[in-house]
Amino acid sequence: MAKYIDGKAVAAEIRAQLALEVEKTVRLGVTPGLAVVIVGDDPASRTYVNNKKKACAQAGIYSEEYALPASASQKEIMDLVAKLNAKKDINGILVQSPLPDGLDEKAVVEAIDPEKDVDAFHPSNVGRIMIGNYHFLPCTPAGVIELLRHEKIEIEGKNCVVIGRSNIVGKPMAMLLLHHNGTVTICHSRTKNLKEVCRQADILVAAVGKPKFVTADMVKPGAVVIDVGMDRDENGKLCGDVDFANVEKTASYITPVPGGVGPMTIAMLLKNTVAAAKRQNGMTL
């Protein structure tokens, strides 16, 4: 049976360390600040925003929420982002996605000052990640790397397969594994012989957004399986992209859902916010 990688416990360690770091910056006159913008009333987005605000408070990070109605115009959102870019007490800006239909999310992301882009979605930060000269890392992929590091799972020289090519997880995940000297394959909806490709993986990262998509016959015995999915099964129960009950019998390590990658995403957001505050105030990183 696979060993569970406890993302909740690892995230708690990181958040405790960050709280100590924030105490130091506060003593030096800098309180890291995060602005979270939510447009509309999507229940999942509301839950995420509440969790982020709570995590900020626990770490001593100042946070502001800007809740706009679903009817908000593109101009209203762009004006708000411009205002937050100029606010000295705000070091990080996060616009919760998805935005309501009819709004240009790409334009909103590109309007955020790259120095305050703690999601690392701005094209400037994406480019920095590509060449390995980055200030921030996308929160979910960075969380995955932290989990592997915590468990002392070597990436270098390993066959790493990422299922999913989204700009938020799949692509940056592949780049981070590559930066750690993994040999990386990205799989997607057009991949031929997907099962065979996945069975070559020493480290398999599932980020496809389909419940229980990864089955035991897709996993090499002894592989490390990281489940980034956050789905609902046929009974409406929270699950991941991996058929956990069966895959855990084949893998050596596996992340559960919930309690695996999810808590790490928020921990990395806090880490990016603190890093942004330090950069903007000329403090040693």
- Location of structure tokens 């270098």: 156
How far is the CA of 103 from the CAs of 43, 100, 250, in angstroms?
Answer: 18, 6, 44
- Location of structure tokens 């870019």: 85
Instruction: Please tell me which residue in 52, 116, 212, 271 is annotated as part of the active site.
Output: 52
Burial of 227-253, coded b for 16+ CB within 10 Å and e otherwise, reads bbbbbeeeeeeebbbbbbeebbebbbb
Give Cβ neighbours of residue 219 (< 8 Å, ≥ 6 apart): 198, 199, 201, 204, 225, 247, 250, 251
Q: Note if 280 is an active site residue.
A: no
Query: CA 109, 86, 54, 226 torsion: positive or negative?
Result: positive
How many other CB atoms sit within 10 Å of the CB of residue 88? 8
Q: Note if 52 is an active site residue.
A: yes
Give the pairing type, strands 253-254 and 238-239. Answer: unpaired
Instruction: Please tell me which residue in 96, 113, 116, 280 is annotated as part of the active site.
Output: 96
Q: Note if 119 is an active site residue.
A: yes
Instruction: Please tell me which residue in 113, 117, 119, 231 is annotated as part of the active site.
Output: 119
User: Which residue numbers are catalytic?
Assistant: 52, 96, 119
